[in-house]
Amino acid sequence: MENLVSLSGFPEGDLEATIVENFVVSTLQRTFELHGFARLSTRAVEPVKELLAKGETSKEIYLLRRLQEDPVRAAQSKKQLGLHFDLTVPFARYVRENAGRLDFPFKRYQIQKVWRGERPQDGRFREFIQADIDVVGDGTLPFAYEVEVALVMADALAALPIPEATILVNNRKVVQGFCEALGIDDVEGALRSLDKLDKIGPDGVAAEMRELGFAEDAIAKLAQMAQIGGGASEVREGLAVLEVDSPTLREGVDELCALLEETDRRRPGRVRAQLRIARGLDYYTGTVYETEIAGHADLGSICSGGRYDSLVRQGKRTFPGVGLSIGVSRLVSRMLSASMVSVSRKVPTVVLVAVTDEEARPDSIAVAEALRERGIACDVAPEAQKFGKQIKFADKRGIPYVWFPLTGEVKDIRTGEQVAADPGTWMPPAVDLHPEVRPA
């Protein structure tokens, strides 16, 4: 069970890894739908100007050109297309284009491949699956959705056979208001520096802030703020000590604490504050989210997002939204490499129907048809070899049962038990109809 990599950055699962990936996808899907999110699929391709509108991510984009097109003219074309690098940009475009036909608040999920031309290192892929949920309103969006999306993702991750996931939250208004109170105009700069805390450490962050011209006491306060985390009371108490105050900060703290109190009431401990969380993208305006898996902090955040007020615009109308995105491929890749799960078998087949001799193949086919009729996946042996070889055929693939039409018996090749059976009524006694993914 592993990813096969013949082209760097573009892993492909073997059959068992594919089963795990599909299991993760359908588990997420089930949770999203239980919460009323409708499935949407957007095209993989966007006009380049759409992809670049968000700024900052330009280096990651794959551009397209038809083989017959002139490379230089294609590169200059205003109509040039590229592959989407996330599912937020296409969703924003879809909402803008179809605002007239959507019902707001609009709740959708999307599970699709995305592509980034990044260097394929540190477990980063160039092609990978993301699973996104977003809620978008028309003009306004109640704060309650900032709570809901976090809890939906907490439930979705809890349904997977992985260690406990903790959603870490902050609020852009907290950082914004904190900076305002300290007289810092360059909030973006502060966020960008804070975002590097893991990479360059507190001293590195302080040095960067000095370069940005921040005052020493402001740098010290920001460093202290970045240490604050936990529940609502820790946030309030931690900030009180710093004696920093502004209307935006108060608003941000109130929202953050409301989120923490509500999530703690409904899913105790699943959502915690971490005031150093910045998130790279500048369109976030409220809650921002990251997610850690216990014992796998090195994996980075596997589920991130935030509230955005004006990512989606159409003339004077704005469509504020909030969403989170799970890095499915990265998560699955770790589930495989850390052996978090096992798969009961690598093919859907439950029964191999043996063939006595080629003349009698129709008898085997009849058994297979009868079993399939009742939802039992079957294979008919490709050749009328000796039964030992036919059993080996099943064994190699992990097919648990072999059926012998001549004697009307079915054998559990794992236990050796063989019983008389009727293909019109028999059900596999101790095996799932579909390959099962189990916690290892």
Choices 144-152, 158-166, 245-253, 303-311; region in contact with a second copy by CB under 8 A? 144-152
CB of 256: closest distance to a second copy in angstroms? 19
**H/E run at residue 151:** helix 144-158
CB burial string 265-304: b at 16+ within 10 A, e below: eeeeebbbbbbbbbbebebbbbbbbbbbbeebeebbbbbb
For residues 107 and 135, is the Cβ–Cβ distance under 8 A?
A: yes
Please report where in the chains the tokens 């096992």 appear, as a residue.
Answer: 342
Residue from 55, 78, 100, 101 touching a second copy (CB under 8 A): that is 101
Q: Any alpha helices (H) in 226-266, and if so which ranges?
A: 232-242, 247-266
Choices 226-234, 240-248, 378-386, 412-420; region in contact with a second copy by CB under 8 A? 378-386
Residue from 379, 390, 400, 403 touching a second copy (CB under 8 A): that is 379
The three-state secondary structure class of 293 is strand
**DSSP per-residue letters across 335-401:** HHHTT-EEES-SSS--EEEP-SSGGGHHHHHHHHHHHHHTT--EEE-SS---HHHHHHHHHHHT--E
Site for a second copy in 169-208 (CB under 8 A): none
For residues 225 and 242, is the Cβ–Cβ distance under 8 A?
A: yes
CB nearer to a second copy: give 6 or 339.
6
Examine residue 105 and say whether the peptide bond preceding it is cis (omega within 30 degrees of 0): yes
Choices 113-121, 208-216, 241-249, 422-430; region in contact with a second copy by CB under 8 A? 113-121
CB of 22: closest distance to a second copy in angstroms? 7
Choices 94-102, 206-214, 219-227, 421-429; region in contact with a second copy by CB under 8 A? 94-102
CB nearer to a second copy: give 206 or 355.
355
For residues 40 and 107, is the Cβ–Cβ distance under 8 A?
A: no
Site for a second copy in 256-295 (CB under 8 A): 265-266
- Name, in order, each residue with C-beta under 8 angstroms of 351's C-beta and a sequence gap of 6 or more: 368, 371, 376, 377, 378, 379, 399, 401, 402, 403, 410, 428
Tell me: is residue 289 an annotated ligand-binding position.
no
Residue from 83, 169, 175, 190 touching a second copy (CB under 8 A): that is 83
Backbone φ/ψ region at 21: left (φ over 0), alpha (ψ -120 to 50), beta: alpha
| Neighbour-count burial of 241, counting CB atoms closer than 10 A to its CB (0-12 exposed, 13-18 middle, 19+ buried) | exposed
Tell me: is residue 68 an annotated ligand-binding position.
no
Site for a second copy in 18-77 (CB under 8 A): 18-19, 21-22, 33-45, 47-48, 58-68, 71-72, 74-75
Tell me: is residue 155 an annotated ligand-binding position.
no
Q: Is 369 in the site for a second copy (CB under 8 A)?
A: yes
Residue from 124, 192, 250, 397 touching a second copy (CB under 8 A): that is 397
CB nearer to a second copy: give 16 or 208.
16
C-alpha–C-alpha distance, residues 119 and 379, integer Å = 43
CB nearer to a second copy: give 164 or 369.
369
Here's the x/- map for a second copy, 327-356, by CB under 8 A: it reads as -------------------xxxx-------
Tell me: is residue 130 an annotated ligand-binding position.
yes
Residue from 139, 142, 280, 424 touching a second copy (CB under 8 A): that is 142
C-alpha–C-alpha distance, residues 176 and 275, integer Å = 12
Q: Is 360 in the site for a second copy (CB under 8 A)?
A: no
CB nearer to a second copy: give 232 or 275.
232
Q: Is 372 in the site for a second copy (CB under 8 A)?
A: yes
Tell me: is residue 86 an annotated ligand-binding position.
yes
Tell me: is residue 134 an annotated ligand-binding position.
yes
Q: Token pair for residue 301?
A: 């955040």
CB of 323: closest distance to a second copy in angstroms? 16
Q: Is 98 in the site for a second copy (CB under 8 A)?
A: yes
Q: Token pair for residue 213?
A: 């011209």
Q: Is 375 in the site for a second copy (CB under 8 A)?
A: yes
Q: Token pair for residue 427?
A: 């059900």
Q: Is 89 in the site for a second copy (CB under 8 A)?
A: no
Residue from 6, 121, 339, 415 touching a second copy (CB under 8 A): that is 6
Q: Is 313 in the site for a second copy (CB under 8 A)?
A: no
Q: Token pair for residue 218?
A: 């402001």
For residues 48 and 62, is the Cβ–Cβ distance under 8 A?
A: no
CB nearer to a second copy: give 190 or 232.
232
> Which residues participate in the annotated binding site for L-histidine?
86-88, 116, 130, 134, 279, 283-284
